[in-house]
Chains A and B, each alone.
Chain A
Amino acid sequence: MSARNIFARPARLAAIAPYVWMVLFFLVPFGFVLKISLSQTAIAQPPYLPLFDLTSGSAALKAAFAALSLDNFRLLISDSLYISSYLRSVVVAVTSTAILLVIGYPVAYGMARLPQRWQPIAMMLVIVPFWTSFLIRIYAWINILQHDGLLNKVLLALHIVSVPVVWLSTDSAMYLGIVYSYLPFMILPLYATLAKMDGTLIEAASDLGAAPGRAFWLVTFPLSLPGVGAGALLCFIPIVGEFVIPDLLAGSSSMMIGQTLWLEFFTNKDWPVASAAAIALLLLLIPPLLLYDRLQRRTIEGAG
């Protein structure tokens, strides 16, 4: 009994660690943001009305609570700029995730079917772009896509086009940048799922009369769904809040929510509205997170 307790204590401490992390680095900052979102903007440093002044007694605290308002959230709903930013973010994220899946799945599948000794090399090739700064890679794309960039030069030289095409500051350029940047996040979870799949299952399927294509759709694909889910959400969630790629590659006609946030924080200096927008974004992302959680729990129960 006592021996078990000795071992139980460090184990319990270790179990607490993630919660401590969550409180320190998520819940506390979240509290700050929430607080700011309920405040009013002001010309001050920081640029919003202070809320809880604990030194000024209970009456002042009550007054502070009374001053809390959901005005910023009302603004988010009433102003079409925010709604359209959210919508655009979701549309871009869904579209990009779909493109990523279509490209990433065959790549991951091919990697998983390579001879064992080639697989680490293939994995390296997927990860290698991370060795270069993300910003530099996006700037490189600007270089390639600009009016007299590499892409247009090649297209002109091959006589595919007669005048340079406008690539930069278009949605195509943005999707290209997003897909390029997030592809490893799609490939790696898919590869992990596909690589550990029991090859005899495919043999069993073909033994039972399934032609190779059928065997893939009836066995490989359904069993890779956890990887599809993980890859899709791993891409979808950060793409919704993506700021740099749309800012550098897309046109300025419509904005994603990340760009709107930036605008509110740094150009308008309206921290409360920006905070409210950030919290709304978080709420927007909770359903897919819950979905992911349920999906994963089901596959854990299913595959035990």
Chain B
Amino acid sequence: MTEESPDIETPKFVATAEPSTPVSVAEVTVAAAKPQAEPVAEMPLLRIEGVGKKFGSFRAVDRLSLDIRAGEFFALLGPSGCGKTTLLRMLAGFEVPDEGRILLDGQDIALVPPHLRPVNMMFQNYALFPHLTVRDNIAFGLKRAGMARADIATRVAEMVALVKLDGLEKRKPDQLSGGQKQRVALARSLARRPQVLLLDEPLAALDKKLRESTQLELMDLQRRLGMTFIIVTHDQEEAMTMANRIGVMDAGRLEQVATPRELYEAPRSRWVAEFVGDVNLFDGEVTSREHNRLMISTKDAGTLSVAEPRQPVTKPVVSVAIRPEKVKLSRRGPVPDTANSHAINRLEGVVTDVSYLGGLTVYKVKLDSGAVLRSSMANTARLDIDAYAAGQRVVAWFTPDDCVVLEQ
């Protein structure tokens, strides 16, 4: 997935996995009893209750419920047309939900017009007022709030410093670069100190390098201001980098709400597993169970030994998901002297394709069954003594703990 910065992401996962223990991900969270006590103790800042929105006969958002706590950096992730932007626009007030409630601090704001909501939005195309200077763009919301002149000047100066736009206050939007426009849009939406800041694909218009640095700046800003950010994105890498929690949406519904790590390592459905990152999937049937392991007989990869999930598998027909980086390749397979070695899954095949991506190399291995297995291995050494070439016969292996069982 992120081939270039695994060392930046890893500590972040550790740091952010602790504070958020969402109700919905009992699958991985250790304490199963905890979620029942939590909603009573802490009312979320934003509660979306059974919200639905139809356009004609198309159900853009389908009775969706979600809680977002104060100070969270929440990402709505999904393919285009999944309803994430419609949901965001309902939070901003540009769309009125057909059903359900949107509670902000306990008050239903579903029918409150946008200009009366303590929520601000940063638009995908920035929507800067072309006839106003940078300063007047940032001051626009403050003037509408009836703030005193002197206070507006102070706040604008503060915002300009915050997003590092010093010296550009008198420019018009068309005299700014894309990155500078993005900062003005951010400053303008933050100036009123909204309870929730909504960001609609805020980085989509920036080039890759600028996008990465801006991601880090946004995270830093959110942490410093302690504000609640809800970002809509179709870029899973962006969502994983920035958000504390991610809601993955498809066809107007939330498929899973989890921390980035949970989403990647413990996807709840086949769809999520495939949407977030790369994955090898094998369909099969549970045949037996031994020592917390399920033996799953698959058509393409023989019998796989898989760690039993916390939530018991109810249906016999399942999919086994293994992320490519969990699949190791070797010429002879693992040495069979470790304690768990008997349970290690080994698949034999021939390397058909080698993609060198710098930080890692992705191999495609054609198994003897004919199915293709992907393996990605970090290029930890500069000299590739251990690299495999196309046509080479290899053993691909992975442990039972690296497999995720998904019901179909």
Contact residues of A: prevailing secondary structure: helix
Q: Please name the residue on chain B nearest to A199 by beta carbon.
A: B127
Q: Are B115 and A207 in contact (CB under 8 A)?
A: yes
Q: Please name the residue on chain B nearest to A202 by beta carbon.
A: B127
Contact of B129 among A201, A211, A214, A304 (CB under 8 A): A201
Cβ contacts under 8 Å, B172 to chain A: 302
Q: Are B115 and A203 in contact (CB under 8 A)?
A: no
Q: With A302-B172, A303-B174 in contact, do A207 and B120 touch (Cβ < 8 Å)?
A: yes
Contact of A209 among B121, B131, B141 (CB under 8 A): B141
Q: Are B131 and A214 in contact (CB under 8 A)?
A: no
Q: Are B125 and A210 in contact (CB under 8 A)?
A: no
Q: Are A210 and B144 in contact (CB under 8 A)?
A: yes
Asked if B140 is at the interface (CB within 8 A of a chain A CB), the reply is yes
Cβ contacts under 8 Å, B115 to chain A: 206-212, 215
Q: Are A208 and B174 in contact (CB under 8 A)?
A: no
Q: How far is the CB of A212 from chain B (nearest CB, A)?
A: 8
Asked if A162 is at the interface (CB within 8 A of a chain B CB), the reply is no
Inter-chain residue pair count (beta carbon < 8 A): 67
Cβ contacts under 8 Å, B131 to chain A: 222-223, 302
Complex Cα distance A183/B158, Å? 49
Complex Cα distance A214/B94, Å? 17
Cβ contacts under 8 Å, B94 to chain A: 203, 207
Q: How far is the CB of A150 from chain B (nearest CB, A)?
A: 45
Complex Cα distance A218/B129, Å? 10
Q: Please name the residue on chain B nearest to A200 by beta carbon.
A: B127
Asked if A198 is at the interface (CB within 8 A of a chain B CB), the reply is yes
Q: Are A208 and B144 in contact (CB under 8 A)?
A: yes
Contact of B123 among A204, A211, A214, A303 (CB under 8 A): A204
Asked if A76 is at the interface (CB within 8 A of a chain B CB), the reply is no
Asked if A219 is at the interface (CB within 8 A of a chain B CB), the reply is yes
Q: Are B113 and A198 in contact (CB under 8 A)?
A: no
Q: Are B123 and A209 in contact (CB under 8 A)?
A: no
Q: Please name the residue on chain B nearest to A214 by beta carbon.
A: B144
Q: Are B125 and A208 in contact (CB under 8 A)?
A: no
Cβ contacts under 8 Å, B92 to chain A: 203, 207
Q: With A206-B115, A207-B114, A208-B192 in contact, do A200 and B130 touch (Cβ < 8 Å)?
A: no
Q: Are A204 and B144 in contact (CB under 8 A)?
A: no
Interface string of A136-163 (1 = CB under 8 A from B): 0000000000000000000000000000
Interface size of A by CB at 8 A reads: 22
Asked if B145 is at the interface (CB within 8 A of a chain A CB), the reply is yes
Cβ contacts under 8 Å, A203 to chain B: 92, 94, 114, 121, 123, 127
Asked if A205 is at the interface (CB within 8 A of a chain B CB), the reply is yes
Q: How far is the CB of A244 from chain B (nearest CB, A)?
A: 39
Contact of A302 among B127, B130, B141, B144 (CB under 8 A): B130
Within 8 A of B (CB), among A34-84: none
Asked if B268 is at the interface (CB within 8 A of a chain A CB), the reply is no
Cβ contacts under 8 Å, B188 to chain A: 208
Q: How far is the CB of A48 from chain B (nearest CB, A)?
A: 52
Q: With A210-B115, A303-B174 in contact, do A201 and B144 touch (Cβ < 8 Å)?
A: no
Within 8 A of A (CB), among B294-310: none
Q: Are A304 and B127 in contact (CB under 8 A)?
A: no
Cβ contacts under 8 Å, A223 to chain B: 130-131
Q: How far is the CB of B271 from chain A (nearest CB, A)?
A: 31
Q: Please name the residue on chain A nearest to B198 by beta carbon.
A: A207
Q: Are A303 and B114 in contact (CB under 8 A)?
A: no
Q: How far is the CB of A296 from chain B (nearest CB, A)?
A: 15
Cβ contacts under 8 Å, A208 to chain B: 115, 120, 140-141, 144, 188, 192
Cβ contacts under 8 Å, A201 to chain B: 127, 129-130
Interface string of B124-160 (1 = CB under 8 A from A): 0101111100000000110011000000000000000
Cβ contacts under 8 Å, A219 to chain B: 129
Complex Cα distance A201/B93, Å? 15
Cβ contacts under 8 Å, A200 to chain B: 123, 125, 127
Cβ contacts under 8 Å, A205 to chain B: 129, 140
Cβ contacts under 8 Å, B189 to chain A: 207
Within 8 A of A (CB), among B48-65: none
Most buried by A among B93, B127, B175: B127
Q: How far is the CB of B132 from chain A (nearest CB, A)?
A: 9
Interface string of A180-216 (1 = CB under 8 A from B): 0000000000000000001011011111111110110
Most buried by B among A207, A209, A218, A223: A207
Complex Cα distance A207/B192, Å? 11
Complex Cα distance A58/B123, Å? 74
Cβ contacts under 8 Å, B127 to chain A: 198, 200-201, 203-204
Q: Please name the residue on chain B nearest to A304 by beta carbon.
A: B174
Complex Cα distance A303/B116, Å? 30
- New A-B pairs, 18, CB < 8 Å, besides A302-B131, A303-B174: A198-B125, A200-B127, A201-B130, A203-B92, A203-B121, A204-B127, A206-B93, A206-B114, A207-B93, A207-B120, A208-B141, A208-B144, A209-B115, A209-B116, A209-B144, A211-B115, A303-B130, A304-B175
Chain A residues within CB distance 8 Å of chain B: 198, 200-201, 203-212, 214-215, 218-219, 222-223, 302-304
A to B CB contacts below 8 Å, 18 in the list? A198-B125, A201-B130, A203-B114, A203-B127, A204-B121, A204-B123, A204-B127, A204-B128, A204-B129, A205-B129, A206-B93, A207-B114, A208-B140, A209-B115, A211-B113, A219-B129, A303-B130, A303-B174
The 10 closest A-B pairs by CB, nearest first: A209-B144, A208-B141, A304-B174, A204-B127, A200-B127, A206-B114, A206-B115, A209-B115, A222-B131, A207-B121
